[in-house]
Amino acid sequence: MEYISIFMFIVVCFVLLLGYPVAFSLAGTALIFAGFGVLTNTFEPAFLSAMPSRLFGIINNQTLLAVPLFVFMGAMLERSKIAENLLNAMTMLFGRFSGGLGISVTLVGMLLAASTGIVGATVVTMGLLSLPTMLKRGYSPVFSTGIICATGTLGQIIPPSIALILLGDVLSNAYQKAQLNMGIFSPETVSVGDLFAGAVIPGLILVALYIAYCVFLAIVKPQLVPSVNSQEILDESTSDSKLGLVFSALIPPLLLMVAVLGSILLGYATPTEAAGVGAMGSLLLAMWQKQLTIANLRAVTQSTVKITAMIFLILIGASLFSLVFRGFGGEELVNSLFVNMPGGVVGATLIVMLVIFLLGFILDFIEITFVVVPIVAPILLAMGLDPIWLGIMIAINLQTSFLTPPFGFALFYLRGVAPRTVKTADIYKGVTPFIIMQLLLLVALAIWPSLATWLPEVVYKN
């Protein structure tokens, strides 16, 4: 009867494709199958008795407190015209060079990803701000849409990413469970801070690859990425000088990012405490930009509550789903499949990465993190994989999935805000080089796992 669990997983994917809310799809499907199992004596109702303790564990989880705080920080920075001012400042610095506007978009996207931590918010914001500017300055629609989608997905990997926070919490539980199954009764732990540190080098490598591609195009096909008259940007801004524009736009958000990430990496604060610093810092930046109005504060708090409620409701639905999945013996079935798979741990890892990549077409990172990762991660970790390396590989894999035509989420987000003159085919062509770069990074991480594990070992002396 354990094959019922696989059928349940297929059914929930089908229900999600029909457009029903994720949290209710997960919980509703689980309850229907549990009811069927009780009636046919194939499911033990005692499994559901563990649900209240799981809910209390979710409420009592200190790590998850970082989620609403970082969401608030990102929403406040988004409403404070930080991205718009940053784009103008970066264009002032690099725009006079061929490909400079592409480099500016990459750097602003990186900083915006570090502030919002949510792919959709970054892609939409950059699409609204930078795409019209790039097209107006003569940039190729193919390159423009590609660089915006690619930098928008950096929110998956650049800390403090919401995806890494949720993934870190799930992997921490999976790692402890894997060690207990191996007979290790004093298990080591992996924290969100470990994942943040592990994501720094891969994230910077991606940014460097994007910038290198801009420089390459500037040399080979400069007509696709022409230079920009920086005086036009200055005339369109309200600043009195180049230095004043660059300083006022660049330094404050950089200081905020250094304060948030630095406090985590140097061990002065936990991710939750650093999230509080970021939320307070975003309020101060809004005051600096004279954007801290009652209307903006109301919009930011409402957005924070909606996103946070959505995340936690999905987490509750996923907890119920995983309980019923285990009750039907799904975990043992998956474990036996992986153990008997040709190629051992390498074959199992490749299959998991492929499944997660394909699921990224139809499920958001939250559903994959809460539903798929708790099922497969304990098995892979028990086979000897490093939890930090596995977490970074999953994050970059999902980032690539969100960028891949024809179903990538980032493509849909940009298509929704792009002018009608921009063809969907242009977006698909534009993201292709960046998909290749991300696949190369995944291969590099597979060959040299220390790209993800070295910095956490140095910072936290694991």
pLDDT digits (tens, 9 = 90+) for 83-100: 777 777 777 777 777 888
Residue 236: pLDDT band with limits 50, 70, 90: low
What is the sign, positive or negative, of the torsion defined by CA atoms of 175, 322, 164, 256? negative
Give the residue-averaged pLDDT of 351-358: 86
396 touches 205 (CB < 8 A):
no
**What average pLDDT does the structure give for the chain?**
82
Q: Which of 324, 294, 309, 230 is nearest to 42 (CA)?
A: 324
407, pLDDT greater than 90: no
Among 119-133, 189-203, 432-446, whose mean pLDDT is lowest? 119-133
Q: What does the alpha-carbon distance between residue 287 and residue 150 come to, in Å, rounded to a whole number?
A: 31
445 touches 392 (CB < 8 A):
yes
- Tell me which residue has tokens 């990538």: 408
pLDDT in tens, 14-58: 887 787 887 888 889 989 999 988 888 888 888 888 888 878 887
445, pLDDT greater than 90: yes
User: What does the pLDDT read at residue 120?
Assistant: 65
User: What does the pLDDT read at residue 121?
Assistant: 66
276, pLDDT greater than 70: yes
387 touches 381 (CB < 8 A):
yes
pLDDT higher at 65 or 452: 452
237, pLDDT greater than 60: no
Burial class (CB in 10 A: 0-12, 13-18, 19+), 61: middle
Q: Which of 264, 333, 282, 2 is nearest to 115 (CA)?
A: 282
User: What does the pLDDT read at residue 241?
Assistant: 59
User: What does the pLDDT read at residue 389?
Assistant: 93
Q: Which of 141, 140, 74, 152 is nearest to 106 (CA)?
A: 152
76, pLDDT greater than 70: yes
Give the residue-averaged pLDDT of 130-149: 87
Give the residue-averaged pLDDT of 64-81: 81
User: What does the pLDDT read at residue 403?
Assistant: 85
pLDDT in tens, 307-347: 888 878 888 888 888 888 888 887 777 777 777 777 778 88
pLDDT in tens, 282-309: 898 888 878 888 998 999 899 888 888 8
User: What does the pLDDT read at residue 184?
Assistant: 73
pLDDT higher at 176 or 183: 176
pLDDT in tens, 188-223: 778 888 888 899 999 999 999 999 999 999 998 888
User: What does the pLDDT read at residue 442?
Assistant: 93
275 touches 162 (CB < 8 A):
no
User: What does the pLDDT read at residue 216?
Assistant: 92
